Amino acid sequence: MLSYFKDYKIFAIVFAVISVIIVSLIYNTLNVYQPLPVYQPAMVSTELVDSTIQYKKKYHKIADFSLTNQNGKTVTQNDYKDKIYVADFFFTTCQTICPIMTNHMAEIQKEILNDDEVMLLSHSVTPKIDSVEQLKRYAIKKGVNDEKWNLVTGDKKEIYALARKSYLAVKDNGDGGPFDMVHTENFMLIDKKRQIRGFYDGTNANDIDKLLADIEILKQE
């Protein structure tokens, strides 16, 4: 009888060890690191993409740019070199989705405030209205940290080209006017290689949580 219980005890221990190993293997298999996609123009709705690149399937990157921020400083791609950043398009007089988007961008700013790898970039789609002075007033009102977040204005043609040929995020308003834009709620996550790695609804709190989680994934690359 004692021998039976001894054998049973050994069996139970071995079974428990094997069970732990199996559970660990299953857990690790289900939690394998999954890289974020690299978005190409062909993967995005054609209404957001310039017709010249709608069917491009590889090698897409954010183009060089030179714009002016809320402090009158020239901002270029060099200011975002080796950075992960979140980009969007807005205008300061927007009364619909922009306030929600800006508030969510401010929440992201809080989360990345001490993270040297991550920055923010907001482009005005009404650059004639959004002068440096206007952007500065808006930045102060919204609590923009100048070291982390640039609100930029500049040549309308350049911003239009960035929106539709680089960030794949803005609609043509369709009225035939040159470089007229209808911005969307999209936030774009850009990696250190200037590639688009995610699109998020800037008005949706759940999407903001996902964006923050995806930033952490990018930092592992």
User: Which letter, b or e, does each residue of 80-101 get, where b requires 16 or more Cβ atoms within 10 Å of its Cβ?
Assistant: beebbbbbbbbbbeeeeebeeb
Tell me the C-alpha distance between 98 and 90, whole Å.
6
Q: How far is CA 147 from CA 34, 82, 120, 165, in A?
A: 31, 15, 9, 27
Percent of the chain at pLDDT > 70 equals: 83
User: Each residue of 1-42: pLDDT tens digit?
Assistant: 545 445 555 655 655 556 556 645 554 444 566 899 999 999
Q: Which pLDDT value is given to residue 27? A: 44
Q: Which pLDDT value is given to residue 199? A: 98
Judge whether residue 211 has pLDDT over 60: yes
**Mean per-residue pLDDT of the chain:** 89
Is residue 118 a contact partner of residue 112, using CB atoms and an 8 Å limit? yes
Judge whether residue 63 has pLDDT over 90: yes
Q: Which pLDDT value is given to residue 102? A: 97
Judge whether residue 171 has pLDDT over 50: yes
Q: CA neighbours within 13 Å on the CB side: how many for 37? A: 10
Q: Which pLDDT value is given to residue 179? A: 76
3 state DSSP class of 48 = helix
Tell me the C-alpha distance between 72 and 119, whole Å.
18
Q: Which pLDDT value is given to residue 34? A: 84
Tell me the C-alpha distance between 94 and 116, whole Å.
30
Q: Which pLDDT value is given to residue 19? A: 59
Mean local confidence (pLDDT), 111-127 = 97
Q: 41-219 belongs to which homologous superfamily?
A: Glutaredoxin (3.40.30.10)
